[in-house]
Structure 1
Amino acid sequence: MTIKLIQEKFLNDLKDIYPREEINSFFYMLCKSCLNKNRLDLALDPNLELSAENSAVFLEALKSLKKEYPIQYIIGHSEFMELLLEVNEQVLIPRPETEELISWIIESQPEDSPVSVLDIGTGSGCIAVVLAKQLSKSKIDAMDVSEKALKVAKRNAARHNVDIDFFRRDILDGKGLSKTYDIIVSNPPYVRESEKHHMHANVLKYEPDLALFVSDNDPLLFYRHIAKLALNGLAPKGLLYFEINQYLAKDLQGLLEMLGYENIELKKDIYGADRMIRAVKI
């Protein structure tokens, strides 16, 4: 089967589920992963004949896409801030909004200034790995409640040759930290159960609930625990960064003020939603 016929089959079989542009994006991601060929390569050779083995890979991926299985889980990785990170059903697929959070941290640091950083709820390790790459003189620690997620994060650190101290910890256990940090960052579960109906099926069906959802009865649960932990876990003038639910921005700002944090700053994402917050421990 030629690559052109495979692409046509993708477009025809998936047209009732995804927009055409997204289908093509899936197709080219598979081409890069499976064949190491980009869009230009395929345009120059539209009649490229696939081996039976490669054809089977594409057709199996097509079956999964029909079930709305995420393309990143199919190919086993996600591109994030120009790095390829392993992902599977044990971890969230990194989002562009999290790239913005990381960029804010990096841009706020004096050049070549070593800092100590703790990433809480590291998941795939996307925040910790990028910070370790970009703040190369710094010491990065990362924790998660999921041992399976930590295994993925450790493989991502090894893939990109960065030294990160990973450890398992439930942030709700009430224990303090064994050391202090200059920066604590977290992208905790912040989607309320009542907001599930706004989410795409591929997220609801396959991405880990543990990393996504929080009860409507206490939507600031993780923020409150982390912010309290950081009161002792941050050095003086230390910075606390969160990725946040845009609908809870003002509530979280009020919580941080009540706990005694200062210079609290909300930051919007590229879509204009309140998506990040930074606070200073005095």
Structure 2
Amino acid sequence: MQASIAYIRKELKDLYPDQEIEGLVRLIFSALRNYTPTDLLLKKNERLTPDEQLHLNEIVRRLKKHEPIQYILGETEFYSLPFQVTEDVLIPRPETEELVDWILKDLTIASPVILDVGTGSGCIPVSLKKFLPAAKVMGCDISEKALKVARANAGINQTEVAFFHLDILNPLLPATFPGLDILVSNPPYVTEKEKQLMQPNVLAHEPHSALFVPDEDPLVFYAALVRFGRQHLKKGGKLFWEINEAFGPACVHLLEENGFDNVQLKKDINGKNRMIAARYV
């Protein structure tokens, strides 16, 4: 085990910060042998099997090409729950966990009706359903491949979430569609000009359709969500978004001029204006 860990550190030392390499070591051995950090210390003299060593070598090879470890392993953790991820969906991020946590702490309804728009891996609705078993939870996405991943994640976490195809820019829903208590979304919000600031592994592997918006219309999805919310939110229903920190004031203005009040702009753990909530009146 010590030799394998030394191999990982040596191969990655010029490509990743030391702290990140240690995190990758933990993730690799968790995937290979379900080892905890404590196991790595207690079982450091154990040897990998030839098959395990080949698997480790392949993981390292892909890491050297800056492929995200979550895609290599096909899994990640979100809000303490396991999720499958493929390159058809974004890798769930800590800021989105904060959005889920805000919703759970804000809710006063025992059995809310919730829709997540642009659900991707399904991390938001699956997590909400797991901790709100009485809720009716739905998720939609324009990508059928993403919906396949989301449905798999609902199954992995033993949750009933209704997933369906929807283009929020052209939403076609039956007249019987239920009124919503919560409309949540983490839509594309990175402008094209911000691409140059992003990590190469994100640009090379994560789906651009879930990340980027035109420079000339950065609020295109938020405007669509406002229109959708005005049509489908119950009076007093709430909207929760993850946002681009650069457009906090613009999102506040968009909501206030379209029939929403109690608009709250919230900072994430890094002090960035990353979340917003509002009530439909």
Question: Residue in 1 aligned with 2:251?
Answer: 252
- Per-residue deviation, 1:102: 0.5
Please tell me whether residue 121 in structure 1 is matched to residue 112 in structure 2. Answer: no
Distance 2:166 2:173 in 1: 11
Moved more, 147-156 or 33-42: 33-42
Counterpart code for 1:116? V
Aligned pair partner of 1:55 in 53, 56, 62 = 53
Question: Residue in 2 aligned with 1:169?
Answer: 166
Counterpart code for 1:158? G
Q: Is the 8 A contact 1:188 1:243 kept in 2?
A: yes
Question: Residue in 1 aligned with 2:7?
Answer: 9
- Per-residue deviation, 1:117: 0.2
Question: Residue in 1 aligned with 2:183?
Answer: 184
How do 1:1-282 residues align onto structure 2 when only pairs under 5 Å count?
Answer: 3-110=1-108, 113-175=110-172, 178-282=177-281
Distance 2:24 2:86 in 1: 17
TM-score normalized by the length of structure 2: 0.97
Q: What percent of counterpart residues are identical?
A: 43
Counterpart code for 2:220? L
Instruction: String of CA shifts for 1:153-211, please: whole Å, max 9, x gaps.
Output: 00000111111110001111154563310000000000001111111111111000011
Q: Following superposition, which runs of at least 4 residues in structure 1 exceed 4 angstroms of deviation? A: none
Q: Is the 8 A contact 1:124 1:150 kept in 2?
A: yes
Moved more, 147-156 or 40-49: 40-49
- Per-residue deviation, 1:45: 2.0
Distance 1:280 1:25 in 2: 40
TM-score normalized by the length of structure 1: 0.97
Distance 1:161 1:43 in 2: 33
Counterpart code for 2:279? V
Q: What SS is found at the alignment partner of 2:92?
A: coil
Distance 1:73 1:236 in 2: 41
Gap change, CA 1:237 and 1:97, over 3 Å in 2:
same
Q: What SS is found at the alignment partner of 1:56?
A: helix
Alignment size in residue pairs: 279
Gaps of 5+ in 2: none
Q: Is the 8 A contact 1:192 1:219 kept in 2?
A: yes
Distance 1:97 1:6 in 2: 33
